[in-house]
Amino acid sequence: MSRARWIAVGLLIALFVLVLFAGAFAPAPYAKQFRNDTDHRPSEQFPLGTDELGRDRLSRLLYGMRISLLLAPAAALISTALAALIGGAGAYMGGAWDRATGMFIDLFLSLPWLFLLLTLRALLPLDIPAVTSVVVTFALLGILGWAASARIVAASVRSIRTSEFLLQARAAGCKPSRLLLRHVLPNVKPILLAQFWISVPLFILTEANLGMLGLGVTEPLPSWGNLLRELENYTALRHSPWLWVPLLSLVMVVSLFQFALGAEERA
Amino acid sequence: MKASGHRVIGPSGEVSGPTLLALLIVIPLALALGGCTHRSADNSGELRVTIKTDPKTLNPLMAEEDASDRIRYLTGGVLIRVNRKQQENQGELAENWNVDEGGRRITFNLRAGVKFSDGSDFSADDVVATVKAALDPSLHSPKGDPLRAGGKADVRALDRNRVVITFEHPIAGIERLFDEIAISPARMAGKADSSVVLGAFSVAEQRAGEYVLLKRNPYYWKKDSAGHQLPYLNAIRMYVLSNRDTELIRFRQGDIHLIDSLPPDLYEQLHSDDPGAARDLGPSIESEQLWFNEVAKAPIPAYKKAWFRSRNFRRAISSAINRADLARVAFRGHATPSVGLLSPANKFWFDKNLRPIAYDTNAALELLKQDGFSKIGDTLKDRGGNPVSFSLITNAGNKQRERMGSLIQQDLQQIGITVNFVPLDFPSIAERIMKTYDYDACMLGLTNVDLDPNGQVNVWMSSADLHQWNPQQKTPETEWEAQIDKYLRAQAATLNRPERKADFDKVQEIVADEDPMLYLVDKNALVAVSPKVKNADPVVLTPQTYWNAEYLSLEK
């Protein structure tokens, strides 16, 4: 492994430890409102300042990162697995199966998900605790977010299915299960990994957008998504550059994942 | 109204013939006119404001939503105007009027020599035709609805300048209803489009999604104290702009001159950059409320219904909410803790005897104890051992309400109550509060469009649809709601203003005592006024910055 990769892995581990034990590092409880110190500038007491309700921004960032770093990859894992299963299986079987799954994927992509999510939220009980709401939100994202990835996976499997090396393997008498496990999957793996890593920040941002419609991480729980909502206030960004920290930390984490992945996986 | 692309240059700017001679004459003329147009664009007297949406109608009798109603206000000539500053009725097209027969009859003496914007004469026939159209049930005019409450009406012209309207039943405060009825020419009554008007401006052009252009009415009847013809402005351009951030950017660029109802955050931004342009007018008549679901058939647990129907529970919650913090933190200090169902901005009808609601968690716990609640550790439990927890819904995307929800969540945590705060999209909220009743508590704002208490009957009568905590009751389910119904009927049945005031004070006191709606804060009226606008005198009532549009002018 390269030095950069080692550094990336080390930093990611440190970050995970930091957010897993956020309680030990956070200067204040994430929900505590210091109402006389709203929109406070960074200070010794509040290293990243306070938000509009006087809550310590660093504490909320640490807890928010914990929620997003644990649940967004989980949702990405669900969606990538579904994409591999539906897109990959259909394309591998070919013929009518391939056409049917292609149509199913197109149909799924054309559905107005925003409105369906709103309807779904309206049907959910109101009196669910904030933590349940978070899990439900990310689970929904994982279950509904597979279609775009499935199309890419299907295209890749389709080209592998018609490739010469697979033809030779088949001619050499390889069983279908061996063909799938030894020849197809290793070749689709970089695509699946790429889709997984693309989905993680995508789900974090989707959660932020859903929060504006009442379907996200609910108050007082923080999430990376609802911390990014502070970036809506463009004039405040000029005067309060520390508001960029959640976005910069998101870029940093995604970049670290890319480095940690290694060139061969990313290729 | 169709768009007209030639209005800027005017008829004399059009090239009518192909000859060189004509071109030699017309081109310099057009250039000269163009120069004039440009100069007048600098000093054009064109005020630029915004509306949030395209107007749904230009028919003043059908105006309901904000954009249509603002256009109606600027274009419509009315018999009586509610002065937005003094909050008193004043004669406009009616020089004077008389209400008699116990409030069943109103007689108007009309101003003589008034003309419509097309130069045609105004007469009593126009008033008769317009009022008849407003009363026509087949038109479904929202402006005519309050008049139809008087039952069958006889509208007739006594002569060219006198009109008498006799209703079957008396209507308390009938005069103010004519502030909403814009008189149209008799030939257009019921299907008017604000192009031929008696107001200061008429609609000249509309481009969907872009703007509505109002041009000065050259025949407007009003003159200033020096005898100058009003209005001073040549035109008002109302840009269709829903994004409040963009609106503020364009204001800063000088592209927009006035902004009504600025959100507190944007007000603060403007105030920090340009303190002279941002104005906080103090409490408006808009307030924010929270209520509990008291509907008997609501699909919520019985023990919750018992909590919500308990006066002590509601009063305890009210005492445990720190209203001063709501105003200070959620509204950046641009709101005032509510005292009751009316804001002090409603000068005449506000009950000055009401006392502010004290923030007192100990008093709240004491009230809860009287109902068998007890705080065990950090959790409040009812006498059945159920932990006290409820959901609070509001519309997603409203920053102030979302902040208030978080503040209330923490306030009630102090007395052991868990609040699950759920912002929802508005259609979902409407579905829950109007149809399914599947919610615990809701926080929304009510906009009082009418200063008169009769404008609130649709909320406070127990049979009303908007009696949100328990709507459409066949008979009042509680003694105090029966009392409110009684006082509302009593104030509507007399023309004596002090008597009406006394009756409505009783309503305000019962509401303050029973807390069916927890009034949280009265929002301040925040506006932006460009220093270029002269004679601006913003008020808390809509339209806040251009209620006196005929007197506004732009600095040259």
Q: What is the mean pLDDT of each run of 10 residues along chain B (556 residues)?
A: 33 35 41 38 74 95 93 97 93 95 93 96 97 93 87 94 94 90 93 93 96 96 93 97 92 96 92 93 94 96 97 97 97 95 92 93 97 95 96 90 95 96 87 93 84 85 91 94 94 87 96 96 96 95 94 91
Q: What is the pLDDT of residue A198?
A: 83
A105-114, A118-127, B478-487: least confident range: A118-127
- Please say whether the beta carbons of B531 and B555 come within 8 A: yes
Q: Do B328 and A52 touch (CB under 8 A)?
A: no
Q: What is the pLDDT of residue B234?
A: 96
Q: Do B390 and A127 touch (CB under 8 A)?
A: yes
Q: What are phi and psi of B463, to 5 degrees?
A: -90, -5
Q: Which residue in the set A31, A214, A233 is minimally distant from B423, CB to CB? A: A214
Q: Do B420 and A126 touch (CB under 8 A)?
A: yes
The residue that leads in pLDDT, A250 or B383, is B383
Nearest to B205 by CA among B191, B193, B218: B193
B228: its two tokens: 């100058």
Taking the C-alpha atoms of residue A3 and residue B25, their distance in angstroms, rounded to an integer, is: 81
Q: Which residues contact B155 (CB under 8 A, 6 or more apart)?
A: B128, B131, B132, B135, B163, B164, B165
Strand partners, A234: none
Site from B321, B378, B399, B410 to mutate, A interface, most A CB atoms within 10 angstroms: B410
- Asked if the C-beta of A39 comes within 8 angstroms of chain B's C-beta atoms, the answer is no
Mean pLDDT across A261-265:
60
Q: What are phi and psi of A220, to 5 degrees?
A: -95, 10
Taking the C-alpha atoms of residue A22 and residue A28, their distance in angstroms, rounded to an integer, is: 10
Q: What is the pLDDT of residue A193?
A: 87
Taking the C-alpha atoms of residue B488 and residue B502, their distance in angstroms, rounded to an integer, is: 11
Q: What is the pLDDT of residue A253?
A: 86
Q: Check if the interface score ipTM surpasses 0.95.
A: no
Q: What is the pLDDT of residue A239?
A: 79
Q: Do A234 and B403 touch (CB under 8 A)?
A: no
Q: Which residue in the set A38, A214, A235 is minimally distant from B329, CB to CB? A: A38
Chain A residues with CB-CB distance to B393 below 8 A: 126
> Tokens 């924010």 — which residue?
B288
Q: Which residue in the set B403, B410, B425 is minimally distant from A214, CB to CB? A: B425
> Tokens 């203003």 — which residue?
B497
Q: Which residues contact B334 (CB under 8 A, 6 or more apart)?
A: B264, B267, B280, B327, B523, B524, B526
B374: its two tokens: 């007890």
Cβ of A225: how many Cβ atoms within 10 Å?
Answer: 26
Q: Do B402 and A219 touch (CB under 8 A)?
A: yes
Q: Do A233 and B405 touch (CB under 8 A)?
A: no
Cβ of A236: how many Cβ atoms within 10 Å?
Answer: 17
Q: How confident is the model at residue A265 (pLDDT cuts 50, 70, 90)?
A: low
Q: At what angle do helices B399-413 and B311-320 cross, to 10 degrees?
A: 110
Q: Do A212 and B439 touch (CB under 8 A)?
A: no
State which residue of chain B sits closest to A34, comparing Cα positions.
B329
Coil vs helix vs strand at B449: coil
pLDDT digits (tens, 9 = 90+) for A141-189: 899 889 999 999 999 999 998 899 988 998 988 888 888 888 888 999 9
Q: What is the pLDDT of residue B17?
A: 37
Nearest to A199 by CA among A120, A118, A254: A254
Q: Which residue in the set A54, A218, A236 is minimally distant from B421, CB to CB? A: A218
- What is the least distance, in Å, from the CA of A126 to any CA of chain B? 6
- Asked if the C-beta of A263 comes within 8 angstroms of chain B's C-beta atoms, the answer is no
Chain A residues with CB-CB distance to B422 below 8 A: 126, 214, 218
Chain B residues with CB-CB distance to A219 below 8 A: 402, 405-406, 409, 421
Q: What is the pLDDT of residue B25?
A: 42
Q: Which residues contact B327 (CB under 8 A, 6 or more apart)?
A: B333, B334, B335, B336, B337, B521
Segments in B253-322 forming alpha helices (H) = 264-273, 302-308, 311-320
Q: Do B325 and A129 touch (CB under 8 A)?
A: no
A198: its two tokens: 């693309």
- Please say whether the beta carbons of B463 and A161 come within 8 A: no
Q: What is the pLDDT of residue B390?
A: 96
Q: Do A235 and B391 touch (CB under 8 A)?
A: no
Q: What is the pLDDT of residue B504?
A: 95
Cβ of B61: how many Cβ atoms within 10 Å?
Answer: 26
Q: What is the pLDDT of residue A266?
A: 54
Q: How confident is the model at residue A231 (pLDDT cuts 50, 70, 90)?
A: confident
Taking the C-alpha atoms of residue A159 and residue A94, their distance in angstroms, rounded to an integer, is: 11
A126: its two tokens: 């109101």
Taking the C-alpha atoms of residue A232 and residue A212, their distance in angstroms, rounded to an integer, is: 11
Q: Do A130 and B420 touch (CB under 8 A)?
A: yes
CA of B508: how far to CAs of A204, B241, B342, B353, B512, in Å?
48, 38, 8, 10, 6
Q: Which residue in the set B265, B410, B420 is minimally distant from A127, CB to CB? A: B420
Q: Which residue in the set B245, B390, B397 is minimally distant from A212, CB to CB? A: B397
Q: Which residue in the set B405, B409, B440 is minimally distant from A126, CB to CB? A: B440
- Please say whether the beta carbons of B527 and B262 come within 8 A: yes
Q: What is the pLDDT of residue A213?
A: 62
CA of B18: how far to CAs of B9, B15, B33, in Å?
19, 8, 20
- What is the least distance, in Å, from the CA of B431 to any CA of chain A? 9
Taking the C-alpha atoms of residue B190 and residue B420, their distance in angstroms, rounded to an integer, is: 49
Q: Do B410 and A31 touch (CB under 8 A)?
A: yes
Taking the C-alpha atoms of residue A168 and residue A177, their distance in angstroms, rounded to an integer, is: 15
Q: What is the pLDDT of residue A60?
A: 95
Nearest to B200 by CA among B223, B225, B179: B223
Q: Do A127 and B389 touch (CB under 8 A)?
A: yes
Burial class (CB in 10 A: 0-12, 13-18, 19+), B399: middle
Taking the C-alpha atoms of residue B507 and residue B195, their distance in angstroms, rounded to an integer, is: 43
